[in-house]
Amino acid sequence: MGCATNERFVTIRSGGRIWAVGAIHGEASRLAELHGGIEERFEAGDRIVYLGNFLGHGREVAATLDEMVAFRSALLAVPHMNVCDVAYLRGSQEEMWQKLFRLHLSVEPADVLTWMMNQGVQQTLAAYGWGAAQAQERIGNGSQEIARWLGEVRARMELYPGHQELLASVRQAAVTDDGALLFVNSGLDPSRPIDAQRDAFWWGADQLAQLTPPYAEYKKIIRGFDPSQGGVSLDGYVATVDGGAGFGGTLTAACFDAEGRAVDRIDT
């Protein structure tokens, strides 16, 4: 079967192995090394899904997106690769970055921006040339000035080829077309169906960690970020592919077969 995508979800072709890349958090040097390892082990029929949180925390956010754009181009040059064989999920960092551009609609924009920056957005703003004090100063003069500043932030992003296009392509979750494997950023609300999760994909980590099978008949659920930093865990019903990149740990990718078994792993 082919792949499909909509505004919220992407469907990944089943039948081959799937590489899942955990939270990167602006660790471009580690990502380049990880990509090298994946390239060496990549087999015909393999797919790859980035599980969100590319942005934030690390000091190489812009270089991280550069590396992701370049590696996508290299993979899509491989014979028989489909555009949906390289998928990107929206993590909490990408969700906050998207909401940043609606800051002029906020009742308390200064408070919202401070919270976002404390959660990792400060490093992403810095990647596009905005210091914390400078950003706070620009949002202190009303909604029209905030809107002008956000336009300037967007304009600086446009100086980096492919960045806006990549971030516009992120989806909330990914599922294999046979319904066996579900890929999410961090969380899930077991009481809701997949199309009614809302923000649980980013803020429902505790509920997902306690989930027991089955959930909607998925054989395995694979997430890329654990806010409690519990480490990589691949064997349970919920696999966590997060070595702690951006917080002093490693960047991890795991390769899963069609049944959800981890068959390879790379840490950088």
pLDDT at position 46 over 80:
yes
pLDDT at position 256 over 70:
yes
Q: What are phi and psi of 227, to 5 degrees?
A: -60, -20
In a domain, 191, yes or no: yes
Q: Which residue, 130, 157, 184, sits at the end of a domain?
A: 157
- Same-domain pairing of 179 and 151: no
pLDDT in tens, 145-174: 999 999 999 999 999 999 999 999 999 999
In a domain, 114, yes or no: yes
The answer to which of 54-58, 80-84, 250-254, 259-263 has the lowest mean pLDDT is 80-84
- Same-domain pairing of 149 and 103: yes
**Residue 56 near residue 246, CB atoms below 8 Å:** yes
pLDDT given at position 209: 84
Instruction: State the total domains in the chain.
Output: 2
What is the band of 213 on the pLDDT scale with cuts at 50, 70, 90?
confident
pLDDT in tens, 79-118: 888 888 999 999 999 999 999 999 998 889 999 999 999 9
- Same-domain pairing of 147 and 197: no
What is the per-residue DSSP string for the chain? Answer: ---EE-SSEEEE--SS-EEEE---TT-HHHHHHHHHHHHHH--TT-EEEE-S--SSSSS-HHHHHHHHHHHHHHHHTSTT--GGGEEEB--HHHHHHHHHTTGGG-SSHHHHHHHHIIIIIHHHHHHTT--HHHHHHHTTS-HHHHHHHHHHHHHHHTTSTTHHHHHHT-BSEEEETTS-EEEESS---TTS-GGG-TTHHHH-HHHHHT--S-STT-SEEEES--TT----B-SSSEEE---BTTTTSB-EEEEE-TTS-EEEEEE-
- Same-domain pairing of 227 and 186: yes
Characterise 10 by phi-psi region: left (phi > 0), alpha (psi -120 to 50), beta (else): beta
Domain range holding 215? 172-233
- Same-domain pairing of 181 and 210: yes
CA torsion 68-78-251-36 (nearest 10°) is -100
In a domain, 39, yes or no: no
Higher confidence at residue 36 or residue 107?
36
Q: How many CB atoms lie within 10 A of CB 227?
A: 16
pLDDT in tens, 188-203: 999 999 999 989 999 9
pLDDT at position 2 over 70:
no
- Same-domain pairing of 139 and 181: no
pLDDT given at position 7: 78
pLDDT given at position 1: 40
Tokens 């660790």 sit on residue:
27
For 72-102, letters b (16+ CB in 10 Å) and e give beebeeeeebeebbbbbbbbbbbbbbeebee
In a domain, 64, yes or no: no
Whole-number percent of the chain with pLDDT over 90:
85
**Residue 12 near residue 1, CB atoms below 8 Å:** no
Q: Rounded mean pLDDT of the chain? A: 94
In a domain, 61, yes or no: no
pLDDT given at position 84: 84
pLDDT at position 253 over 70:
yes
pLDDT given at position 3: 55
In a domain, 56, yes or no: no
Whole-model pTM above 0.85?
Answer: yes
- Same-domain pairing of 183 and 208: yes
pLDDT given at position 121: 97
In a domain, 189, yes or no: yes
pLDDT given at position 4: 60
In a domain, 198, yes or no: yes
